[in-house]
Amino acid sequence: MQGYFYARRIYHNNMIDIATATPLLAKTSHTSIPFDWCLLDTGKSLERVWHDSSNLCAGVKQYTDTASREYELVMEATMHTAVIHSLFTDARAGNDDKLPMNQTDRRGWLGAFYVPKNGTKAVTDYGSRLWIIYNSHASSEGEGTDNVLEFARFAAYESLLWLVDEGIVDTVVVTSEWRGALGTLLALNVQMFKGNVNKPIYNALWGTTLERTQQGHDS
């Protein structure tokens, strides 16, 4: 994921990014990949030349196979991909963070130790700490629903602050709530503003599978 961060291009405070989509299978399966880069079929096929040297007595034979079709990455000039990677890439947990389910891996990127901090958030801190509550059973951790909501809100907020540092947006606002048919699924509403306008330039509600139990705790 970190390589993606450095591959992003910013021109005059406008971001050009690789377009990201949610595969159809991900909407029906918890085990599938939730996001993937968008590919454009160029209509071309790739030819692969290879040599068979298994029988040197018969000489080296050359073959040409028609391999898979050629695709190109789709680019976009929105913040959609940047927000996805910011929210759902695992940032390193802090020393005071209580890791879920007796885990000892604080995750994050090894290179973060060697890169100096720049602005309110080091570029190598890229990602969020949402995984801490996403992989935990808050009922067993003794955390109340209000604490979970606030932790999720702040984790999402701090993961997006690099957009302010880069001058892409001026303000980031994140709210968290329980939604869904039973009001038990965590959802995050992300709004971002640029300039002296009241209308956000980005406004999206992100749902998760983190569920609140009927006993007033989360699981």
What is the per-residue pLDDT across 92-140, written as a single tens digit (0 to 9) for each? 898 888 888 888 898 987 666 666 665 555 555 778 999 998 765 443 3
pTM, whole model, 2 decimals? 0.72
For residue 175, the model assigns a pLDDT of 97
What SS3 state is found at 57?
A: helix
Model confidence pLDDT, tens digit, residues 81-94: 889 989 988 898 98
pLDDT reported for residue 14: 65
Contact (CB, 8 A) for 39 and 71: yes
Please check the confidence at residue 147 and state whether its pLDDT lies above 80: yes
Q: In 10 A of CB 185, how many CB atoms?
A: 16
DSSP state of 130: T
| 180-191 pLDDT, tens digit each | 888 888 999 999
pLDDT value of position 63: 77
Question: Which helix (H) or strand (E) element contains residue 28?
Answer: none
Q: What are the residue ranges spanned by the domains of the chain?
A: 79-211
pLDDT at 215: 44
